[in-house]
Homo-oligomer: A and B are copies of this chain.
Amino acid sequence: MNIKSPYLLFIGDAVDPLSIKMARSAADWCPEHCVGEFTLPGCSVTTGLPDMSIAHAAQLGAKSFVLGFANSGGTLDSAWVPAILEALDAGLDIVSGLHDKLSDIEVIKTKAQLLNRQLIDLRHPKDKFRTGTGTKRTGKRILTVGTDCSVGKMYTSLSLKKAMDNRGVASTFRATGQCGILISGGGVAIDCVVSDFISGAVESLSPDNQPEHWDIIEGQGSLSHPAFAGVSLGLLHGAQADALVICHAFGRAHMRGLPQYAVPTIEHTIALNESAARLTNPEAKVVGVSVNSSALNEQQALQQCDELSQRLGLPVADPFRHEMKTILDNFL
């Protein structure tokens, strides 16, 4: 994959901060690769980067126009097409993490060919996978799993990577979603793999390694989400994780996109994931809880983490506010 930086992050007329996950991921984890964001009228959220026109971004040297969206179903809204065409005209490649492919839209495809620009569909795997084997692999693996979707599995994984780097522990971040792929430049978008190959794709993403090396595998979805639990289970079985970190967002009212479904308890999520994970790794064990405490102030956050930690007998931390040290100590 040859994604040219710097990026202009396109967030359209978004109003839900969770819906621009792709843009926020880049702004948070590789700001040095971003010149700014581009919005449409009505947009009420921001990545925190300067809002600018496509022409201005091009003058600043932007090389890629990144669709910053992560909607359910991964559809490409026709209202975005004019901006995409303008970006192509301005000399930028287009990068998308949606299910809908850029090259399936005739007008985009034609202009990109004419102008010799790249259309990069990050979510669409180029590899041909095998079905899973469940065979034990060498090296160690940690996987982030969630009470829900969009609770911070990628952020937690990248924070664990940073913490391991700081401690001199050999590790590799293994991206399983479009945002992680954009940030790290490689990986497999598991939710876009043909379902027969979910586990097999994860097995190939995290192959045999040195005995003391850790693969930090980004989780997807939740075993308790009615739409996506299949993806989560296949990923869990393919990962054969030794260590699991539960990710949870304080104050989430219901499962993402489904008002009629309650968020499961962390206790239930631990039991469900450990029991399912042990099919392919009988030693699998939850080693900590990573929370998104952005709904709370600093003191409330610390207090709720403490209470949760005592209740569960596990280290609890928010990767944005606290260090991952206690979680690392618990399994290294």
Select the residue from A135, A192, A194 with max chain B CB neighbours within 10 A: A194
- Indicate whether A234 sits within 8 Å of B224 (C-beta atoms), given known contacts A131-B72, A135-B260, A191-B194: no
Interface string of A282-324 (1 = CB under 8 A from B): 0000000000000000000000000000000000000000000
Instruction: Tell me which residues across on chain B come within 8 A of A111, comparing CB atoms.
Output: none
Contact partner of A237 (CB less than 8 A), chosen from B191, B193, B230, is: B230
Q: Which of A9-17, A29-37, A57-65, A196-204 contacts B (4 or more CB under 8 A)?
A: A196-204
How far apart are the CA atoms of A234 and B221 in the complex, in Å?
12
Residues of chain B within 8 A of A195, CB atoms compared: 190-195, 198, 230-231, 234
Smallest Cβ-Cβ distance to A72: which chain B residue: B131
Instruction: Say if the beta carbon of A229 comes within 8 Å of chain B.
Output: yes
Instruction: Say whether, besides A190-B195, A224-B279, A226-B280, A234 and B231 are in contact (CB < 8 Å).
Output: yes
Least CB separation from A221: chain B residue: B196
Cβ of A113 under 8 Å from chain B? no
11 contacts between A and B (CB under 8 A): A74-B196, A131-B227, A132-B228, A134-B260, A190-B195, A192-B194, A198-B231, A229-B233, A229-B279, A230-B230, A230-B235
Query: At the interface, yes or no: A258 with Cβ under 8 Å from chain B?
Result: yes
Hey, which chain B residues are within 8 Å of A232, CB to CB?
230
Chain B residues within 8 Å of A280, by CB: 226
Provide the bound-state CA to CA distance between A276 and B228, in Å: 13
What B residues does A199 contact at CB under 8 A?
Answer: 226-230
Q: Which residues of A contact B (CB under 8 A)?
A: 72-74, 99, 130-135, 190-196, 198-200, 223-224, 226-235, 237, 257-258, 260-261, 276, 279-280
CB distance from A103 to the nearest CB of B (A): 16
What B residues does A134 contact at CB under 8 A?
Answer: 226-227, 258, 260-261
Question: B residues within 8 A CB of A131?
Answer: 72-73, 227-228, 257
Q: Which residues of B contact A234 (CB under 8 A)?
A: 195, 229-231
Q: In the docked arrangement, what's the CA distance between A231 and B226, Å?
A: 13
Assess the A258–B133 pair: CB atoms within 8 A: yes
A196 touches B192 (CB 8 A): yes
* Among all A-B residue pairs, the 8 with the closest Cβ atoms: A230-B234, A134-B226, A132-B227, A191-B196, A195-B195, A230-B230, A198-B230, A131-B227
**Complex CA–CA separation, A156 to B235 (angstroms):** 29
- Specify which of B193, B227, B233 is in contact with A194 (CB 8 Å cutoff): B193
B99 touches A228 (CB 8 A): no
Q: Tell me whether A130 and B194 are in contact in the complex, defined as CB-CB below 8 angstroms, given that A199-B227, A199-B230 are known contacts.
A: no
Extra A-B contacts (6), CB below 8 Å, given A190-B195, A199-B228 = A73-B130, A73-B196, A132-B227, A133-B258, A191-B196, A230-B232
Give Cα A168–Cα B145 distance, bound, in whole angstroms. Answer: 47
Q: Within the assembled complex, what's the spacing in Å between the Cα atoms of A200 and B133?
A: 27
Question: Hey, which chain B residues are within 8 Å of A130, CB to CB?
Answer: 73
Cα A258 to Cα B133 with chains together (Å)? 7
A315 to nearest B CB, angstroms?
28
